[in-house]
Amino acid sequence: MSHFVVGLTGGIGSGKSAAADCFASHGITIVDTDAIAHELTAANGAAMPALLEEVWCRSGHC
């Protein structure tokens, strides 16, 4: 059986979550990159030190 990747894109309210839910209901693995990004950039998220350093340096403080 071959495997492939499907990317869901679209604006707010375009049905991305509904489509992902439909895929999931058929046993298809979903990787929610929006949820991952929110986790990484939340307070104390793993990406925050690097992001803050980048912003700080770009504003001339490095």
Sequence-ordered alpha helix ranges (H) in the chain: 16-25, 33-41, 48-58
27 and 43 inside one domain:
no
3 and 26 inside one domain:
yes
Provide the residue range defining the domain that includes 27. 1-31
23 and 36 inside one domain:
no
Q: Is the pLDDT confidence value at 4 over 90?
A: no
38 and 49 inside one domain:
yes
- The tally of domains found in the chain comes to 2
pLDDT in tens, 12-42: 999 999 999 999 999 999 999 989 999 999 9
48 and 60 inside one domain:
yes
What's the whole-number average pLDDT of the chain?
92
40 and 57 inside one domain:
yes
* Crossing angle (nearest 10°) for helices 33-41 and 48-58: 70
Tell me the percentage of the chain whose pLDDT exceeds 70: 100
